[in-house]
Amino acid sequence: MTDIKSMNLGELTAYLTENGFEKFRAKQVLSWIKQDVADFDGMTNLPQKLREFLKADAYLACADIVRVQRSKIDDTVKYLFRLYDGEYVEGVLMQYHHGRTMCISSQVGCKMGCTFCATGKSGFSRSLTASEMIAQIRSAELDCGERISNVVLMGMGEPFDNYDNVIRFLKLVSSEDSLHIGMRHITVSTCGIVPRIKDFADLELQCGLSVSLHAPNDEARSRTMPVNRRYPIREVMDASRYYVKKTNRRITFEYALIDGENDSDAVARELAQLLKGFLCHVNLIPVNNVTGAGYRKSSIQRQQAFVNILSAAGINATVRRTLGSDIDASCGQLKRNFMKGDV
């Protein structure tokens, strides 16, 4: 089946003309897609022959909301989306002073197996299409009644393990044919897939890049991030330097602070040395509760001491504000497996 919602106008035009339909029909179909039409029969200005063809050969990707959880401590909303094939992903809508930000998933589950992340513990099913990523944003917009102005690919999955679809998503969602969200308002996160960081740099897109680091050396990083055994820190840092040099854009390093694991003064000094002279920002994240992980977040005092050491070394660092913790919507808490009573 053909995923027409992942096509741009040129691709949709080619698809229809190659199957014997007039060129102008593509703009009609695209107009209905932008109006969130649910099925091809709803495209009432199309001839019956075209509608029957589309029903037989194509599908309209969706991200239907089947559960909504609203935080009682902030304005965070967590959505459970059902995809066209019955798979589920979660997404999170956050309110900041600059507007609504949507954290979307790029895969159903994840292969990376980071020990502090619930998604990796729930296994992997498949990657999402560009249209399914867009559908998460649009479904959340319709639910909250507001435009979403910022997007982060930090939900379920490793975006660079779904590289082609993610790049298609970025180009499509930022176009006038879709949601027209500017590239500068989109951030892609990766656990450190080195070849893809370099490929991404070569595209010279204007969106942000966030690299999950979580430790300043290979021994510590490999304990929590199995991907480090394939792409060790030296290679990740080299690829990150290439990205900065190629794009002249600041890179963000994500760092989950885990009590007694990676939050000591000595570790902070080692991290400062690793990042010395780097055009970067360090986003410190007090680790969130994940069933079975047994990790505890660093104390407020330890968090501040870590920030102070990095700042004294000239490294820009802040502690991320925790949002949606009462609904398991914080970093690392999204999961793939759900009990029957959940949906």
Which residues fall within 8 angstroms of residue 2, CB to CB, at 6 or more apart? Answer: 15, 57, 58, 59
Q: Which CATH class is domain 2-59?
A: mainly alpha
Domains 2-59 and 64-342 share a fold: no
Question: What are the structural domain ranges in the chain?
Answer: 2-59, 64-342
Q: Which CATH class is domain 64-342?
A: alpha beta
Q: Encode pLDDT of 198-211 as tens digits.
A: 999 999 999 999 99
Task: Considering the candidates 110, 117, 207, 331, report the single residue annotated as catalytic.
Answer: 331
Q: To which H or E segment does residue 109 belong? A: strand 107-109
Spatial strand order in the sheet of 148-153 = 64-70, 77-82, 88-96, 99-103, 148-153, 186-190, 208-212, 251-257, 280-286, 316-319
CA distance 38 to 62: 9
Dihedral in degrees, nearest 10, Cα atoms 180, 166, 236, 120: 120
Which pLDDT band holds residue 341 (cuts at 50, 70, 90)? very low
Task: Considering the candidates 90, 132, 158, 261, report the single residue annotated as catalytic.
Answer: 90
Residue 114's identity, in one-letter code, is C
Active site residue 280: no
CA distance 328 to 101: 17
Give the chain's count of helices (H) and strands (E).
11, 14
Q: Encode pLDDT of 133-184 as tens digits.
A: 999 999 999 999 999 999 999 999 999 999 999 999 999 999 998 999 999 9
* Nearest alpha-carbon partner for 5 in 92, 88, 84: 84
Active site residue 90: yes
Residue 183's identity, in one-letter code, is M
Give the per-residue pLDDT at 329.
52
